[in-house]
Structure 1
């Protein structure tokens, strides 16, 4: 790993954790009217969007770690392209949390460090397994976002539009990984990934 890569990784970490994210695409929910939510509905929406923002923080670190250790330039480029799209998701969820009067997870630095380590480890195993880890992660995120669409208040049109677009983008990332030759992870590994994601989700919903 070269010095310029380490400097770039450190810079991305600071920008992810310490500065507002920016998006080149407008938020999918920006044109939707802001509706009046009950206290309970607002609390639920804030919790779910906090989890989604936390997931995007993890995605930034995961992609970064995978790109740092990927062997093929084409795979690195694809990972970097996906990371740019995840930055937009980061901006959308952060903005929506502010609109709802909520905050991001206090444990984001911890989630970031853990995900960066996972990404580096996946990349060290080789590009097929690196991509396999990416594809499995994105399929799980896609299902996770689908469950959020079922749970979000029906009148929260802005949050629902954001989550729907994120779900579409995550499916595209998984398709990309599979097109590049992703290996299929053992079911035991995928189960462990779901368990870890479940722990993060339950904690981030409140903290």
Structure 2
């Protein structure tokens, strides 16, 4: 068994706490332009607008969870390459946060009131995954991204056909998530056992169904 990573320093814990506060409470910023920003706003019915806003709220909360997972995993990762892959994924999740946050506002929706709780729980899971070992840590990243890709594909089937702005954001997010999974595999990700995958799907289902309404 490989040795446990050194415990995070006080400075690292303070930085992690600060990142958490900024992720949950501060406006997110993106280095890349928001996908679909140049598209005209669609004429949606009230029902379509509410549906799109709810789906984008779920996606925003999913990015909150992903950000927390990867920050937690990076904090306890042993290998510098694994840590770099996790931090890169977290950076792009920040851009996804900015995109979904902007779209929620455009649709007249709101972010989930449970985001602080989701962040805390996801960070703890990520930190625990990092303690298991880098191959399993990266395996957790790869499986998370595979499930997110499937989740986003499902949203593309539910979003109003005319909502090109939301669809462009989801398509770009899906491409990024697939790339994160590929990167994790290239860095030596282990294949998670089926019970672990099933548990991840169950927890994701709880989050998505809760965030849709709250």
TM more than 0.5: yes
1:15 to 13, 18, 22: 22
Name the residue aligned to 1:205: 212
Name the residue aligned to 2:184: 177
2:135 to 128, 132, 155: 128
**1:77 equivalenced with 2:84 (yes/no):** yes
RMSD: 0.5
CA distance in 2, matches of 1:192, 1:13: 24
Report Cα offsets for 1:49-91 as digits up to 9, x if no partner. 0000000000110000000000001111111111111100000
Length, aligned pairs only: 207
CA distance in 1, matches of 2:25, 2:196: 32
Report Cα offsets for 1:119-153 as digits up to 9, x if no partner. 00100000000001110000000000001011100
**1:166 equivalenced with 2:173 (yes/no):** yes
2:62 to 51, 55, 62: 55
Structure 1: segments with no counterpart, 5+ residues: none
> What is the CA-CA distance between 1:29 and the residue it aligns to?
1.4
CA distance in 1, matches of 2:81, 2:205: 32
CA distance in 2, matches of 1:31, 1:151: 22
Return the TM-score normalized by structure 2. 0.96
> What is the CA-CA distance between 1:14 and the residue it aligns to?
1.0
3-state SS, counterpart of residue 205 of structure 1? helix
**1:152 equivalenced with 2:159 (yes/no):** yes
Structure 2: segments with no counterpart, 5+ residues: 1-7
Return the TM-score normalized by structure 1. 0.99
